[in-house]
Structure 1
Amino acid sequence: MCRDFKILIIFSYILCFKVFYINSKRSQLWKLSPDKTKIIKGTDPQPLLYPKEFSGKHSITGDPLFDIVDTERYGNSWIKHPQQSCLDCVEEQENDTHSKLSNGQFSETLDCGKPVNFTYFDNLVGVMNRNRHPVVPEPQAVLYFTKNFGKSKPDVKNFDIDALERRLKKAKRERPKSIQLYNQIGNFWRIKGDASKAIECFRRALAASPHNAEVLLSLARMLFSLQYLDDAIYLTRRSLEVQTPEKGAWQQYFTLGEIFKAYGHYQEASIHLRHTLELNPKFEPAHLALQEMEAIPTATIHMYTLVIIVCLVLGVLLVILSSVDNSEDIKPQRHFNKAMAMRSLKGISMTAKRCKRTY
């Protein structure tokens, strides 16, 4: 009996659910008449079908009340802008988009994607201030894109930057997550002078490969051009530590030579530059840097020694003069003591004579 009762309850529940589902599918839409005097039957609104180009901006809900509102993200809040939900407007926007694409106004941007959250080199001052750097173009960064880099002097003035940009965009479409490509795009923005985009590319590469010697050296060269010398020395030495022996480290030694030359430490700079020429004897910039340091007059190098000697001589003279003054102050006191002693002796002798006479 209880079993039959449970079956009856389940059957009635299924039947009611089916009835409600059918009624919901066959529900009638009602609306007000144009003169707003009575209620008449309405028709289901047809959903507006937008093309794929506008799927990110418009909501395809089928409800005109939501389709006329365009909601966009701005900062930490949502801002709504009224839009016309008509097929004619959509067609006009679609035609405008196709015309801009055909005219080349919507071109592919050459970047390395979204900035990464963290790298092991974010504590460097030059990296922390990456959004505050001025525009400092580096034409010498063109050397990284020449075939005979380090062997012959390339023609930097006639280098085609636009062709390089097209090649990098093509390489980005083919292998968008390449660490070497991130390094090349960063060096491209070094040529343009956009430090923010270049550092973001180097950060993205270092986030994936923190021990990449080429990326570390590229970032060091850029911070050196921005006069962050301590950061540049740290990154160059780190690149020198992880550089593989078969590739050679002449670029790292040359960078260290240039940095120490900018510091004024000519002896240490010449040591690194000579290391560069030992590994790459035909590298002309190292020869020029050594010649510039050798052309500096030796008097300027020994100027500090001369200043120290003069200071020491003046110090010794001051000590001697002070000792002479003290001796002059002491001498009258000694004469006074002798005079007093003579007077005391004369007094004693006179008293002794007087005593003899009385006796």
Structure 2
Amino acid sequence: EEHPLPWHPPICERLGDTVEGIDDIPGIKERHTLTTRNRDPHAVPYLMKYGYQGVEAEIGQRISSAMKRGVGPQWLLYNLAGLYWRVHGNLYNGVECLRRAVATAPDEWRDVPLINIAALLYTAGHIDDALTLTLQAMQVADHEPETNFLLANLYCGKGNLTGAWHHYERVLAASPNHSSALQYLTALACHTRPPHSIRPLPTCQNQGGVEDGVCTTDGGCQDSTGTAPSEEK
């Protein structure tokens, strides 16, 4: 369906009710302090996955029209609106839409808006808040590749390299062609001794863990003496 100009973005009115389990998280509680960021191109494929293709402004209008008409599950439309604002870097609007998505999603689908709001707060630098939300999403569905991927990134940012390794491998177990997970797992081998890995890793040049080190498929990141560095905590 074509929409006449001007196109309007999907604005979600502020939800007055408390959203159980997330509204006490600092980044959400103080969402009015979130500043507009640069566009987040990583969110674009998720919009496209739901069939929203074309000019981004028109995509926003289509989501807005569907919300007003009550077409389809409301939680899914709020989730798409949150993705739209994440693409455009408007974190406050994104949080408001995703709060509504979390509040209205069926229990078995609650992980979807939870992981999207976690990713949004991650881009804003709220790593601890993103970790809290991602762990909530894992309680709903712990097999989703993108949930495990974000959790691995968060653990890596917190210095929990063993945890990061475990969840990158869970991503690849569910989605063997996940190129980012393989790339990050390979890079991680340059910084820590790999746990008992379920897969061989390609040789890679060291990326800062040990000078003149090389990542190998069987020995982690080894320096010239053949010893692996101790794991970071």
Question: TM-score over 0.5 for the alignment?
Answer: yes
Residue 191 of structure 1 aligns with which residue? 87
1:186–1:198 contact (8 Å) kept in structure 2: yes
Residue 138 of structure 2 aligns with which residue? 240
Cα displacement string for residues 153-182 of structure 1 (whole angstroms, at most 9, x for unaligned residues): xxxxx9732232232133223326710000
Asked if residue 216 in structure 1 is aligned to residue 114 in structure 2, the reply is yes
Summarize the Cα distance change of 1:170–1:224 in structure 2 as closer, same or farther, 3 Å threshold.
Answer: same
TM-score (normalizing by structure 2): 0.72
Matched residue type, 1:112: C
Secondary structure of the structure 2 residue equivalent to 1:146? helix
TM-score (normalizing by structure 1): 0.48
Secondary structure of the structure 2 residue equivalent to 1:122? coil
1:183–1:215 contact (8 Å) kept in structure 2: yes
Secondary structure of the structure 1 residue equivalent to 2:34? coil
2:10–2:61 contact (8 Å) kept in structure 1: no
Summarize the Cα distance change of 1:274–1:250 in structure 2 as closer, same or farther, 3 Å threshold.
Answer: same
CA distance in 1: counterparts of 2:79 and 2:177, whole angstroms: 25
Measured on the aligned residues, the alpha-carbon RMSD in Å equals 2.9
Residue 56 of structure 2 aligns with which residue? 161
Give the one of 48, 53, 57 matched to 1:146: 48
Corresponding pairs, count: 191
Asked if residue 201 in structure 1 is aligned to residue 109 in structure 2, the reply is no
CA distance in 1: counterparts of 2:112 and 2:103, whole angstroms: 14
Ranked by relative contact order (alpha carbons within 8 Å, sequence separation 6 or more), the top structure is: 2
Higher helix share: 1
Residue 65 of structure 1 aligns with which residue? none
Q: Give the deviation of 1:116 after TM superposition.
A: 2.8
CA distance in 1: counterparts of 2:106 and 2:68, whole angstroms: 24
1:141–1:187 contact (8 Å) kept in structure 2: yes
2:122–2:130 contact (8 Å) kept in structure 1: yes
Give the one of 17, 32, 56 matched to 1:131: 32
Secondary structure of the structure 1 residue equivalent to 2:32? coil
1:112–1:200 contact (8 Å) kept in structure 2: yes
Secondary structure of the structure 1 residue equivalent to 2:167? helix
Residue 19 of structure 2 aligns with which residue? 119
1:116–1:204 contact (8 Å) kept in structure 2: no
Q: Unpaired segments of 5 or more residues in structure 1?
A: 1-102, 150-157, 306-359
CA distance in 1: counterparts of 2:13 and 2:231, whole angstroms: 51
Structure whose CA Rg is larger: 1
Give the one of 256, 259, 262 matched to 2:157: 262
Summarize the Cα distance change of 1:190–1:148 in structure 2 as closer, same or farther, 3 Å threshold.
Answer: closer
In the TM superposition, structure 1's runs of 4+ consecutive aligned residues that sit over 4 Å from their partners are none
1:116–1:207 contact (8 Å) kept in structure 2: no
Summarize the Cα distance change of 1:302–1:280 in structure 2 as closer, same or farther, 3 Å threshold.
Answer: same
The more displaced of 161-170 and 125-134 is 161-170
CA distance in 2: counterparts of 1:144 and 1:278, whole angstroms: 21
CA distance in 2: counterparts of 1:140 and 1:275, whole angstroms: 21
Summarize the Cα distance change of 1:298–1:200 in structure 2 as closer, same or farther, 3 Å threshold.
Answer: closer
Cα displacement string for residues 12-36 of structure 1 (whole angstroms, at most 9, x for unaligned residues): xxxxxxxxxxxxxxxxxxxxxxxxx
CA distance in 2: counterparts of 1:263 and 1:114, whole angstroms: 32
Q: Give the deviation of 1:196 after TM superposition.
A: 0.8
Summarize the Cα distance change of 1:303–1:114 in structure 2 as closer, same or farther, 3 Å threshold.
Answer: closer
2:8–2:61 contact (8 Å) kept in structure 1: no
Summarize the Cα distance change of 1:108–1:166 in structure 2 as closer, same or farther, 3 Å threshold.
Answer: closer
Cα displacement string for residues 270-309 of structure 1 (whole angstroms, at most 9, x for unaligned residues): 111011000111111111211222343543883789xxxx
